[in-house]
């Protein structure tokens, strides 16, 4: 029996759920989670979210040494940046989800606040989402960009590519990235319409009641 067997199983079940609902396709996306001893379990490079094998997840020890499983995602620098700079991060998920990518292609996006304030749950689960510019997949500079964000954002959108979200555990990270994709979908469905957004006062109420980090 491998260590963290339940965690391995949960990563694969939730990844398959995302894949089955079309939230990332082919061999896109990657997922990682902290193990009980402070190491990391990571989806292998080239693997499909629909068919992750718990026994083949890449295993890293607490010093960052690859000690088991297949070779990890090429986005390790991106995942590592979240763990290094967000002390509460217990899991990180990255998807190629269509609506968020479509929204990132529109002109005049606010790099500091990618999602319009449409529903309370997006604010509660994500805080403000930073929009990062285009990088080549696997470029370590994405990790530097995450480290360099002025505040401790837990969700970023990679333009022309996909969202990346950290959470306290795998379930929280998956719930939050689904909220990001749903909000991007709502933003596109109502794009160009006379849309009502949450007011500053309503946003403040949500932020205060649910203790959201939401700097201006």
Ligand X SMILES: O=C(CO)COP(=O)(O)O
| Residue ranges in contact with ligand X by CB under 6 A | 27-30, 45-46, 73-75, 94, 96, 137
The region that residue 160 occupies, defined by phi over 0 for left and psi between -120 and 50 for alpha, beta otherwise, is left
Q: How far is CA 44 from the centre of its chain?
A: 17
Determine the residue with CB nearest ligand X: 73
* Residue (97 or 154) nearer to ligand X, CB: 97
Separation between Cα atoms, residue 65 and residue 17, nearest integer Å: 29
d(CA 131, CA 184): 13
The three-state (H, E, C) secondary structure of 2-29, written as one string:
CCCHHHHHHHHHHHHHHHHCCCCCCCCC
Q: How many CA atoms lie within 13 A of 103 on its CB side?
A: 32
| Known active-site residue 213 | no
CB neighbours (10 Å) of residue 13?
12
From 9, 75, 107, 178, the catalytic residue: 75
Nearest distance, CB of residue 26 and ligand X, angstroms = 9
Closest among 113, 110, 81 to 94, alpha carbons compared: 81
Closest separation in Å from C-beta 44 to ligand X? 7
Cβ distance to ligand X smaller for residue 35 or 45: 45
Q: The tokens of 132 are what?
A: 């990062």
> For residues 27 and 190, which CB has a smaller minimum distance to ligand X in the complex?
27
Shortest approach of ligand X to residue 207 CB, angstroms? Answer: 31
The residue among 41 and 118 lying less far from ligand X, judged by its C-beta, is 41
CB of 195 to ligand X, least distance (A): 31
Q: Residues near 134 by Cβ (< 8 Å), separated by ≥ 6?
A: 158, 159, 160, 161
Catalytic hit among 9, 83, 84, 121: 121
Q: Is 83 a catalytic residue?
A: no
Q: State the catalytic residues.
A: 75, 121
């Amino acid at each position: 029996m491998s260590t963290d067997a339940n965690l391995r199983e949960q990563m694969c079940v939730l990844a398959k759920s995302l894949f089955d609902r079309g939230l990332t396709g082919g061999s896109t996306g990657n997922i990682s989670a902290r193990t009980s001893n402070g190491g990391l379990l990571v989806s292998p490079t080239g693997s499909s979210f629909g068919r992750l094998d718990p026994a083949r997840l890449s295993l890293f020890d607490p010093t960052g040494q690859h000690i088991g499983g297949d070779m990890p995602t090429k986005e390790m620098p991106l995942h590592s940046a979240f763990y290094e700079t967000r002390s509460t991060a217990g899991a990180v998920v990255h998807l190629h989800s269509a609506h968020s990518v479509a929204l990132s292609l529109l002109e005049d996006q606010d790099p500091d606040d990618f999602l319009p304030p449409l529903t309370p749950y997006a604010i509660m689960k994500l805080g403000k989402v930073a929009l990062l510019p285009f990088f080549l997949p696997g470029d370590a500079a994405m990790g530097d960009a995450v480290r360099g964000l002025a505040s401790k954002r837990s969700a970023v959108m990679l333009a022309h590519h996909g969202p990346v979200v950290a959470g306290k555990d795998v379930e929280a990270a998956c719930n939050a990235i689904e909220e990001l994709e749903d909000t991007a979908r709502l933003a596109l469905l109502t794009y160009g319409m006379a849309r009502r957004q949450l007011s500053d006062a309503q946003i403040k109420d949500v932020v205060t009641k649910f203790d959201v980090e939401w700097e201006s």
